[in-house]
A and B are shown apart, each in its own frame.
Chain A
Amino acid sequence: MKKNVIKIFTLFMFFSFSSLYASGPAADAFSHEASTKKVETYQTQSFSEMIDGFINSTGVKAFMSPNLDELSSHGEKMSDFHKSWGRIIMILIAFLLFYLAIAKGFEPLLLLPIGFGGLLANIPVAGIAGPDGFLGIMYEMGLANQFFPILIFMGVGAMTDFGPLLSNPKTALLGGAAQFGIFGTLVGAVALAQYTSIFDFTLQQASAISIIGGADGPTSIFIASKLAPELLGAIAVASYSYMAMVPIIQPPIMKALTTDAERRIKMSTLRHVSRLEKLVFPIMVLVLAILVLPDATPLIGAFMFGNFLKESGVVDRLSDTMQNALINIVTIFLGLAVGSKLAADQFLVADTLAILALGVVAFSAGTAAGVIMAKIMNLFPGNKINPLIGSAGVSAVPMAARVSNKVGMEYDRSNMLLMHAMGPNVAGVIGSAVAAGILISLFS
């Protein structure tokens, strides 16, 4: 046993040395040709020098006494804290995201890639999130130009059924009201910037943060990478973690704003929606967006493209690919690219705390606005609306609708609100895409 180990070890040493010597001259010749400015020739080193060099290149050394000249992935100087303890804290945060995703089931599809991307981005020396690292390449490939969120929107469109909205159109107003979460938080964020000296958000940054209130992951990433790429990591993490926490955040607000009688309101059954209506709807929304708000058409266009293919019924292969293969592949890339923004120098700043706090405010405000809007609509004659479905106006499809259904069932076992809540839910997606388009148009 012992002999074998020694044998393998010596064999290994032999190979590693021989390959080192073999590659020496070749590398030498290459560097002569490639760099004319700095001629670096390989010099033979004694074994102790090699060990020294190796120790200097280890991660332990990089964490303990960071290289003074090391630059962040943006080519900026980093503080010593961000290079040493900051990275360790970020790696622990990545572990926390793994825990939340695996043990608690919080949006594992996104939090796992984001968390792992964050782990990789905080490795010293390797520079995985830098311009030449694979995370950096993914970021440049699809996040810096907002390509990935658009692709995700296509897939979401192919998964969406507008039937419930078409059969009860006025519930779209609930999806509009919930967008108050976005704009209310925008005011909150700029107020923080105006009246405190710690935070200094520009209007662009405030807008990017407030879009968390739309409860729509791809939209938040789309806006953040357009208006405030430096806050992208924190915004994406806040957005997806709060979306996962919808079942915890929403019910108390919904219960506080409604009376027992309102929660027991039964809604009339949804009428049948013909196939032609479903087929015309995506085109109609897109035409409306073209006429009213062309800035929103990248998002709405991709969304409606996916939906149109699904409803057409003749390209099941394409719609199936968008719903499964495409969205899965893009989710991997998107998650890792967002994770690359979890580098310590960008995440461990005071702004992140403000973003996490404002995110909760945004979600709560959107939920409350949806519920209140439903109560206002009940003041008018016509079919009564159960205010519990108002909370589904924040997008978060289909989680928010499920929450409405669950809370409704708590008070009346026979009251099925799920399909009624899907109406405001999908209207919320359109609403937040419109809100995003408005924010973009204001800054262009």
Chain B
Amino acid sequence: METNLVVEGLKFMGLGMGAVFLFLIVLIFLMGMMSKIVHKFFPEVQPSAGSSSSSAQNNQKKVVAAITAAIKFHRES
């Protein structure tokens, strides 16, 4: 009996799509688990972010102070 190529092709499709999805679904679960574990046990320390924002605030305060001083000086003179 001659093999029906189309039927073969459909079988390939079923197996192929099934395997691709299986692989990616398992991968999605693994990614979720992995990021949970990483965040729980190895949280990323970000000291630079905190210090930079506070220094930025300090800078702004200094700028405001300088401007007010300048305005005051301008008005007085």
Contacts and interface: CB of A to CB of B under 8 A. Distances in A.
Interface of A: 165-166, 169-170, 172-173, 175-176, 179-180, 182-184, 186-187, 189-191, 193-194, 203, 206-207, 273-277, 280-281, 284-285, 288-289, 292-293, 427, 430-431, 434-435, 438-439, 442
B6 A194 contact: yes
B30 interface: yes
B63 to A, nearest CB: 30
A187 B10 contact: yes
Nearest to B43: A274
A193 B6 CA distance: 9
A175 B15 CA distance: 17
B75 interface: no
A190 B5 contact: yes
Contacts of A170: 28
Contact of B23 (A186, A207, A288): A288
Contact of A172 (B9, B24, B35): B24
B16 A179 contact: yes
Nearest to B5: A190
Nearest to A182: B16
Given A179-B20, A430-B27, A439-B12, 17 more contacts: A169-B32, A173-B24, A176-B24, A183-B12, A187-B10, A190-B8, A193-B5, A194-B5, A203-B9, A206-B5, A274-B42, A277-B34, A281-B34, A288-B23, A292-B22, A434-B20, A435-B20
Contacts of B6: 187, 190-191, 194
Contacts of B31: 165-166, 169, 172, 281, 284
A146 to B, nearest CB: 20
Contacts of A183: 12-13, 16-17
Contact of B12 (A207, A284, A292): A207
Contacts of A280: 34, 38
A442 B4 contact: no
Interface residues of B, number: 30
Contact of B44 (A274, A289, A435): A274
A394 B37 CA distance: 30
Contacts of B21: 173, 176
Contacts of B32: 169
Closest 6 CB pairs between A and B? Answer: A183-B13, A190-B5, A190-B9, A187-B9, A169-B31, A274-B44
A293 B12 contact: no
B9 A292 contact: no
A194 B6 CA distance: 7
A423 to B, nearest CB: 11
Contacts, number: 115
Nearest to B10: A187
A105 to B, nearest CB: 32
B17 A186 contact: no
Most buried by B among A175, A275, A280, A289: A280
Contacts of B19: 292-293, 434-435, 438
B1 interface: no
A40 B4 CA distance: 57
A280 B31 CA distance: 10
B5 A434 contact: no
A276 B42 contact: yes
Contacts of A207: 12
A442 B38 contact: no
B25 interface: yes
Contacts of A175: 24
A441 B10 CA distance: 16
Contacts of B22: 292
Nearest to B42: A276
A60 to B, nearest CB: 46
A281 B28 CA distance: 11
A180 B24 CA distance: 14
B35 A277 contact: yes
Contact of B26 (A187, A191, A276, A292): A292
Contacts of B16: 179, 182-183, 186, 435, 438-439
Contacts of B4: 194
Contacts of B17: 176, 179-180, 183
B74 interface: no
Contact of B15 (A165, A275, A438): A438
28 contacts: A166-B31, A166-B35, A169-B28, A172-B27, A176-B17, A176-B21, A186-B16, A187-B12, A190-B5, A190-B6, A190-B9, A191-B9, A193-B5, A203-B5, A203-B8, A206-B9, A275-B44, A281-B34, A288-B26, A288-B30, A292-B19, A430-B23, A430-B24, A438-B15, A438-B20, A439-B12, A439-B16, A442-B12
Contacts of A285: 27
Interface string B25-69: 111101110110011001010000000000000000000000000
